Structure 1
Amino acid sequence: MAVFEGTFAGDVSNLKIAIVIGRFNDLVTDKLISGCQDCLKRHGINIEPNNGQVDYVWVPGSYEIAMVARQLALTGGYNAIICLGAVIRGQTPHFDYVSSEAAKGVAAASFQTGVPVIFGVLTVDTMQQALERAGIKSNLGWNYALNALEMASLMQQIQNTSSSPSAANLPPGNETIALPKVTT
């Protein structure tokens, strides 16, 4: 039996990543982007928008993130998509609807396309909690980028295995799913 694990080292020059950012609560999302970029840069990714290795896509808020993430994943042009947003509880049920649908939508985008779509939408009770998670105590943007790198690496390993001759010898019911190959 094989063991598969994503790695954080190695050649990342062929990785293509999209970051989808909700503009609402940009005080928080700007900090998440900084943490995300710091992690990617330290792992050898060129984070400059004009380089072509990382694309930045801005949407109005967290609710719209999933739709755009799915569309990007369907292009077959990305190894991973990182979704960044912040939903802060208010005095109405709006928080529940937005945070629930954002989470479901991001998960569905990943499941439907086979592309790792990382849920980096903070769902918090207060602005203070959001700021703590976006840089005051730690920056979860870093973690989301690290998750994307690990999942991109893992999916590449699985794709390489699914195209090997031994994959054809799996017992019935254990066939591999053909995942989109990303070309840059």
Structure 2
Amino acid sequence: MIYEGGYSGKGLKIGIVVSRFNDLLTEELLKGALDCFRRHEVEELEVFRVPGAFEIPFVVKELAKKGKYDAILTLGAVVKGETYHFDLVASEVAKGIAQVNLNYETPVVFGVITVEDELQGLNRAGVKSNRGFEYAMATLEMANLRKN
């Protein structure tokens, strides 16, 4: 037997945690995600804004503890600079989100893009394609898979 999640948003409650830092990119990711959820008939959405990507795992943990969401989508953008800050932030955000995914019963989708520069980020957040839409599709699939 094969188990898969579908893409219907009917009856789902989705939480979105989005970083304000690099908002040129994160706002485009959010627009793509909201477009996806609207097209797939998600009626219950709550968006939580945090200062930066590093703060995403804390809020995701708090939301997962409540258990009221069918899935949580994280959206952020970490742009490489001239220091090691990029590596530290990207690594810790990924670890934090993974930890929540394993410790709670709510699927969390990692939608934090890591890019070399803003141009690359713009290509991933809307100019060529919108990863926000793709991450939202994964969120729907995981929410429905968990329900099945």
TM-score scaled by structure 1? 0.79
Q: Point out 4+ residue stretches in structure 1 off by more than 2 angstroms.
A: none
Q: Distance in 1 between matches of 2:99 and 2:137?
A: 21
For structure 2, the residue ranges without an aligned partner over 5 or more in a row are none
The SS at the match of 1:135 is coil
User: Residue 181 of structure 1 aligns with which residue?
Assistant: none
Superposed, 1:1-80 pairs within 5 Å as 2-9=1-8, 12-46=9-43, 53-80=44-71
Any idea what the Cα deviations from partners look like across 1:152-174, whole Å, max 9, x if unmatched?
Answer: 000001xxxxxxxxxxxxxxxxx
- TM-score w.r.t. the length of structure 2 is 0.97
* Contact 2:11/2:42 (<8 A) preserved: no
Within 5 Å, give how 1:1-184 maps onto structure 2.
2-9=1-8, 12-46=9-43, 53-157=44-148
Tell me the residue number matched to 1:162: none
Cα-to-partner distance string for 1:69-98 (whole Å, 9 max, x where unaligned):
011011010000000000000001000000
Number of equivalences: 148
Mark the runs of 5 or more structure 1 residues left unpaired by the alignment: 47-52, 158-184
Higher relative contact order (CA 8 A, sep 6+): 2
Asked if the contact 2:75/2:111 (under 8 Å) is kept, the reply is yes
Identity of aligned residues (%): 47
Root-mean-square deviation (CA, aligned residues, Å) is 0.8
Equivalent position SS for 2:126: coil
Q: State the secondary structure of the residue aligned to 2:64.
A: helix
Amino acid in structure 1 at the alignment position of 2:50: V
Amino acid at match of 1:16: K
- Bigger radius of gyration: 1
